[in-house]
Structure 1
Amino acid sequence: MIRDGHVHTPYCPHGTKDTLEAYVEMAISLGYKTITFAEHAPLPAGFTDAAPTRDSAMDNDMLEEYFADLDRVKRTYTGKIIIYAGLEIDYIEGFEEQTTAFLNRVGPRLDDAILSVHFLQNTGVYDCLDYSPGVFGSMAERYGSTEMVHERYYQTVLKSILADMGPYKPRRIGHMTLACKFQLKYPSSRCFQNEITAILSAISQKGYELDYNGAGTAKPLCREPYPPDWIVKEAVRLGIPLVYGSDAHQAKELGQGLSAIDRTVLAT
């Protein structure tokens, strides 16, 4: 059974206007049995979007329409495919209280959710890690090296796992090697095995899941899933459930990366 646990929607400001129906019809054509719409949740109160175009997440005033639309497509496709209402929640260091308050408000309406790190904080300045090669290169200069950016990223992912964010905290960790998005232009001399081992250990102890994300395979400067094979093997050894996610931002991206991942390890 193919389950896609990470799909975006027309509510994404940096995505496309493909309709929810377009995503669902594509999912059905691919043989999916379950799909989670996990749009980028509104950023926490008081946080200024660090992406240069300020388009990282949907606006807070779109939430009601978003949930209403998901309810509508659930009804439309009853018996054809299982549709989960979800969100991709950003963990932003220093904004844990605001994010917890948001989760307490919307959590009862969620069937599924993902916790991801896109923003890093360094000396009080926030950056959008995955925005562009140029932004990543600028970060590497300011942090001191490519390796320092990766190190900070993995430290932040670990903090996201350990953070107390209430009963509605997402239990699946999104694209845990997102720092590798531009690795073919900004290669690292380290594999960060110690940091990744600590992350996997924490996920295992918490009973969380991993987003086995195919989007990296389509990124020209990455060309591998998030996470890659060696991490997947360790996750399997620890008994961590892996949920495939296309991370599609347009309907035609559903299924991306499936040919590059080990389907035998997927949770269903």
Structure 2
Amino acid sequence: MDRDGHIHSPFCPHGTKDTFEQYIEQAIKKGFKEITFAEHAPLPDGFTDPTPARDSAMSWDNLEHYLSEISRVKLQYQGQIKIHAGLEIDFIEGYEDKTRDFLNEIGPRLDDSILSVHFLKSADFYHCMDYSPSVFGEMVRKYGSVNNVYTKYYETLLLSINSDLGPYKPKRIGHITLVHKFQKKFPPSVVFNPTVLNILHTIKEQGYELDYNGAGTAKPLCKEPYPPDWVVKEVRKLKIPLIYGSDAHQAKEIGQGLEQILMG
């Protein structure tokens, strides 16, 4: 494995202040030849971050500094490791137009990007699904069951895949089974395999690739990659490209989950 396609940075408000250099040096030490910094893009104007700390994404004020810092380290590490300037773009139901406008503006300046679902829209409120077990528990009460939360997540994921976000829409879909993050505390009572298979076929039809995300292996209530092994086997049957991502929010997490992912 010579590429880590999903790394955060000191610009992540819910991460650490580890420097770009610390992330890069750790990546080199781990043997990676290529990395993508994919910081959480600023949230659309008019969208209120529903997390208690309102720390889901980089602020608009920091976007230019973030991109300039990546340009700086690209030069600093030229010849040692290939560094991509990227963003993790949130798909937020109801904010497609603003997301498209943002991508049209910033897309030409990016080398790479990921499209992810973290926020789910209920009738009158958005929740950050992966914020904490307690927030997930609130969602279960709001939606009526764990199964209903899973259903809403996968419906929103499918919306993201089919959405028209313009020519700079990310071609990599982030951690498609993120809803499993708290599965050991909130297990669904039905199997969602057919739903996931349908999503995979849609990803194949659209010509997208998948984030093979190691972060779930380190989450005590998940303990599996996003997506898990059975999904990866189906992905390979469909010949959908898989791009490993540590989803590191601190330098020491570079390479996390590698020992549990299916190689080859």
The interval holding the TM-score normalised by the smaller chain is: over 0.9
Whole-Å Cα distance in 2 between the matches of residues 103 and 145 of structure 1?
35
Partner of 2:144: 144
Whole-Å Cα distance in 2 between the matches of residues 179 and 112 of structure 1?
24
Partner of 1:48: 48
Q: Which amino acid aligns with 1:197?
A: L
Shift of 1:50: 1.2
Shift of 1:149: 0.2
Shift of 1:124: 2.4
Partner of 1:119: 119
Partner of 1:182: 182
Partner of 2:201: 201
Matches within 5 A, 1:87-236: 87-236=87-236
Which secondary structure state, in structure 2, belongs to the residue aligned with residue 123 of structure 1?
coil
Partner of 2:249: 249
Whole-Å Cα distance in 2 between the matches of residues 67 and 263 of structure 1?
32
Q: Which amino acid aligns with 1:180?
A: H
Partner of 2:13: 13
Whole-Å Cα distance in 2 between the matches of residues 194 and 235 of structure 1?
14
Deviations 1:187-224 (A, max 9, x none): 11122112111210111001100000000000000000
Gaps (5+ residues) in structure 2? none
User: Are 1:82 and 2:82 counterparts?
Assistant: yes
Partner of 2:71: 71
Q: CA RMSD in A?
A: 0.6
Shift of 1:6: 0.2
User: Are 1:237 and 2:237 counterparts?
Assistant: yes
Partner of 2:60: 60
**1:120–1:153 contact (8 Å) kept in structure 2:** yes
Whole-Å Cα distance in 1 between the matches of residues 111 and 65 of structure 2?
17
Aligned residue pair count: 264
Whole-Å Cα distance in 2 between the matches of residues 141 and 194 of structure 1?
25
Deviations 1:167-193 (A, max 9, x none): 000000000000000000111112211
Shift of 1:263: 1.9
With 45-54 and 242-251 compared, the bigger mean Cα shift is at: 45-54
TM-score, normalized by length of structure 2? 0.99
**1:158–1:198 contact (8 Å) kept in structure 2:** no
Whole-Å Cα distance in 2 between the matches of residues 200 and 52 of structure 1?
33
Whole-Å Cα distance in 2 between the matches of residues 26 and 170 of structure 1?
26
